Amino acid sequence: MSEEELEYEEPSDEKKHKGFSFTARITVSFAAIALMTVMVAVGMLSFVWEQYFQSYTRDNMENLAESIADSVEQNFKTMPNDWYNGALAAATSANALYDTVNIQIVSSDGWVVYNSGAQGSIGNLSFSDNERNTASAPIVVNDEQVGTVYVRVFGSDTLLTQADQDFRNKSYQAMIFASVFSVLVAVLAGFILARLLSYPINLVTNAARALKEGDYSARTGMVGEDEIARLGKTFDQMADAVEANRDMERRLVTDVAHELRTPLMAIQSTVEAMIDGVFEADEERLETLNSEVRRLSRLVDALLKLSRLENRANKVEFAKIDLVEQVERVVLAHQAYVEESGLDFTYEHDDHVIVYGNADLLRQATANLISNAVRYTPEGGSITVRVTQGELMGKIMVQDTGIGFTPEEAKNVFARFWRADAGRARESGGLGIGLSVVKEIADRHNGWVRAEGRPNEGARFTIYIPLYSRSTSLRKGKTAQAKRLGINN
């Protein structure tokens, strides 16, 4: 097992305990939210419930005071102006029932005629109707108030019946049970939700890990339209592109090796034969060596040009140019070459197509398209070059009647060293770099290139270049100036 595998499979304790897992965080979050919600709910309910029981106790206090006042009033009628011969019996009975209730009866002239604690003067009166735990009721005899009954409760549970106390206790027990149950349900729901959320994330993680370890067939296989499903499908598309690029890379290495190996082997065998005296170093042998060296030079030069275009290494000057005039130069330069290949050559164009671009690059792109068409068009075919003007773009179209390509192959035609399978074995096959250069040139002009074709029916490539306008040239000039000054737009 390698050191890298050991590091991956056996992470340190610090890494293991660095943080909670996604599932744990979601579960704890749900529990915390549920706990806070329960605490707020129980607090509010307890407050309301206590207010209710206090109001209930207050009503009982007032009822007790009125009941004592009514009894004293009836007894007082039978024995007028005599407080101590039975008039206070009701107060004494009530005091015997509630040992935490203080009852006072005060006469109209201010004497405390009854105090469940001790009798005394008005100085012993410490009751007030404004106190929350005190209730009072007047004693009225023959429409005249002869005294007042005061009832003070020292405990909130004093005037509650056993049924009232049981109901209140069970209510609080129910609240506690409901709170615990709610938190447990929230934890379970959070755990289930976290697992549901983490499952597709784990699919993406596992697929990414497999892709990192070289399994380019790893996919999530996720379906759906939600955000995570779209993430999975996007990852699968990325994996498809990575796999395709990997295959393209292997193919590229093979092609580059083949392109380099062929001329190098020819040069090596020829030089060795001349050294051994098998061949004489005559003009014919030297021309063979020179041809192969030029072939190597073209390959290296093409790679260098493509690299410079991709890296924006060379400064490109843009100007107002007539696309018809520039393409016509390329057509005239290639006419003999095309006709010698046994192909019909046609050039069609509008009167003037003025674009904002670089003449050298656009001529190179057109030449690459014509050379590509000649390379893959059998003798007797035809090539058409057309320059037209659209509403916003100037167009250079090169169409042939060659071997063409499928819609799937059309997606790869601009990849470097790529060639259609039908043309890979052709001796006339090029280096597979020309179309990549065309795409880079179109990109440098803020345009694009489009490839269309059908197998055995031909191909059509169209370069789109923005038409010239004063605003376009000013915008290009400002961008170039900003780049020179090191200003980022």
pLDDT at 482 over 70: no
Tell me which residue of 463, 323, 459 sits closest to 382, measured CA to CA.
459
Q: Would you state the pLDDT for residue 414?
A: 82
Q: Would you state the pLDDT for residue 292?
A: 75
Query: pLDDT tens digits for 185-212?
Result: 877 877 787 777 778 888 888 888 888 8
Q: Would you state the pLDDT for residue 417?
A: 62
Q: Would you state the pLDDT for residue 408?
A: 81
- Left if phi > 0, otherwise alpha if psi is -120 to 50, otherwise beta: which for 136? beta
The mean pLDDT of 276-281, rounded to a whole number, is 77
Q: For residues 371 and 359, give the distance between their C-alpha atoms in angstroms, rounded to a whole number.
A: 18
Tell me which residue of 151, 95, 156, 92 sits closest to 127, measured CA to CA.
151
Amino acid type, 137: A
Q: Would you state the pLDDT for residue 127?
A: 54
Measured CA distances, 185 to 24, 58, 429 (Å): 15, 39, 70
Q: Would you state the pLDDT for residue 382?
A: 94
Query: pLDDT tens digits for 434-480?
Result: 788 888 889 889 999 999 999 988 999 999 999 988 655 555 554 55
For the chain, the average pLDDT equals: 76
Decide if 65 contacts 91 (C-beta within 8 A): no
Q: For residues 311 and 309, give the distance between their C-alpha atoms in angstroms, rounded to a whole number.
A: 6
Alpha helices by DSSP H, 110-226: 162-212
Decide if 397 contacts 460 (C-beta within 8 A): yes
Q: For residues 242 and 219, give the distance between their C-alpha atoms in angstroms, rounded to a whole number.
A: 12
Q: Would you state the pLDDT for residue 208?
A: 86
Query: Which residues are 145's β-sheet partners?
Result: 140
Give the angle 154-156-159 at the CA atoms, nearest 5°: 90
How does residue 344 score in pLDDT terms, banded at 50, 70 and 90?
A: very high
Report all structural domains of the chain as residue ranges with CATH numbers, in order of start. 238-309 (1.10.287.130), 316-485 (3.30.565.10)
Task: Provide, rounded to the nearest whole percent, the portion of the chain with pLDDT above 90.
Answer: 15
Element (H, E) at 486: none
Amino acid type, 305: K
344-349 and 382-389 as β-strands: parallel, antiparallel, unpaired? parallel
Q: CA quadruple 309, 315, 320, 322: dihedral positive or negative?
A: negative
Residue indicated by tokens 């050294």:
275
Q: For residues 359 and 362, give the distance between their C-alpha atoms in angstroms, rounded to a whole number.
A: 5
- Chain-centre distance for alpha carbon 35: 29
The mean pLDDT of 77-82, rounded to a whole number, is 69
Rounded to 10 degrees, the C-alpha dihedral 37/42/47/51 comes to 140
Q: For residues 207 and 154, give the distance between their C-alpha atoms in angstroms, rounded to a whole number.
A: 72
Q: For residues 157 and 320, give the distance between their C-alpha atoms in angstroms, rounded to a whole number.
A: 98
Q: Would you state the pLDDT for residue 432?
A: 66
144-153 and 344-349 as β-strands: parallel, antiparallel, unpaired? unpaired
Q: Would you state the pLDDT for residue 1?
A: 39
Rounded to 10 degrees, the C-alpha dihedral 266/270/275/281 comes to -140
How many CB atoms within 10 Å of residue 451?
A: 19
How does residue 259 score in pLDDT terms, banded at 50, 70 and 90?
A: low
Q: Would you state the pLDDT for residue 416?
A: 65
Task: Provide, rounded to the nearest whole percent, the portion of the chain with pLDDT above 70.
Answer: 72
With H, G, I as helix, E, B as strand and everything else as coil, classify residue 332: helix
- The model's pTM is 0.45
pLDDT at 81 over 70: no
Query: Which residues are 319's β-sheet partners?
Result: 357
Decide if 429 contacts 419 (C-beta within 8 A): yes
Q: For residues 115 and 74, give the distance between their C-alpha atoms in angstroms, rounded to a whole number.
A: 20
Alpha helices by DSSP H, 10-155: 13-16, 22-78, 89-97
Q: Would you state the pLDDT for residue 121?
A: 38
Cα Rg for the chain, rounded, in angstroms?
50
pLDDT at 402 over 60: yes
